[in-house]
Chains A and B, each alone.
Chain A
Amino acid sequence: MNEIQQLVVAALVVVGSFFLLVGTVGLLRFPDVYNRMHASSKAATLGASSILLAGFVYYGPQGAGLTSLVGIVFLFLTAPTGAHLISRSAQKMGVPFFGKAAEWPREESD
């Protein structure tokens, strides 16, 4: 493994760890479940994808490198689906929004 490849892997790992940190700090700091979802489901997903991308650079375009690419695509496909479901269930359970201005725009018709 040459010098540049190593540097790229290290940089991607650092970036990924940073976004994992952002995701978890957001999860702990933000005031309500909807805002927490912003931090966790996206920043954390980007962090994990960045680390998997580091795996792709590390292994090259063969073997486990290809599997990491599949992992990135899978994370990006599934993270929004999970977030939709959680936010919908939170809203249906009547978890209140943070802030006086924020509210559900329309009454549920059912």
Chain B
Amino acid sequence: MASDPTLLAPVVNAGLILASALTLLAGYRVIKGPTVPDRVVALDTIATNVVAIAALFALSTGEGLFVTVSLVLAIIGFISTIAVSQFVTEGDIIE
């Protein structure tokens, strides 16, 4: 089921472009900092944005598998956020 080109395709494509641009902008916060938690928050935002990009890609191609991709990305983003913030405070992930 390819998406109907009349209305949906431009909207979804615009959303894809916006989300990708936002991911790049969040990269600014990762580089700039100034503190480590700032970077972690920025990485978390990037993870959320990438989940949204995968979901948008599923809409744009009509390929349902990409929804599963977004779910897996959400899981990975969650675990990495937890691990990094744990590492930052405790100096170790699992004591």
Contacts and interface: CB of A to CB of B under 8 A. Distances in A.
Does A associate with B in a complex? yes
Contacts of A7: 7
A102 interface: no
Interface of B is mostly: helix
A27 B29 contact: yes
Given A67-B71, A78-B74, A93-B88, A55 B59 contact: yes
Contact of A81 (B38, B40, B78): B78
B80 to A, nearest CB: 10
A27 B51 CA distance: 17
Contacts of A88: 85, 89
Contact of A36 (B41, B49, B64, B70): B41
Q: Which size class do B's interface residues fall under?
A: 35 or more
Interface string A48-77: 100110110011000110011011001100
Given A28-B29, A86-B41, A92 B55 contact: no
B49 A20 contact: yes
Contacts of A27: 26, 29, 41-42, 45
B59 A40 contact: no
Contacts of B78: 74, 78, 81-82
Nearest to A40: B45
A102 B8 CA distance: 46
B45 to A, nearest CB: 4
A95 B39 CA distance: 13
A47 B17 CA distance: 15
Nearest to A18: B18
Interface in B1-35: 1, 3-4, 6-8, 11-12, 14-15, 18-19, 22, 25-26, 28-29, 35
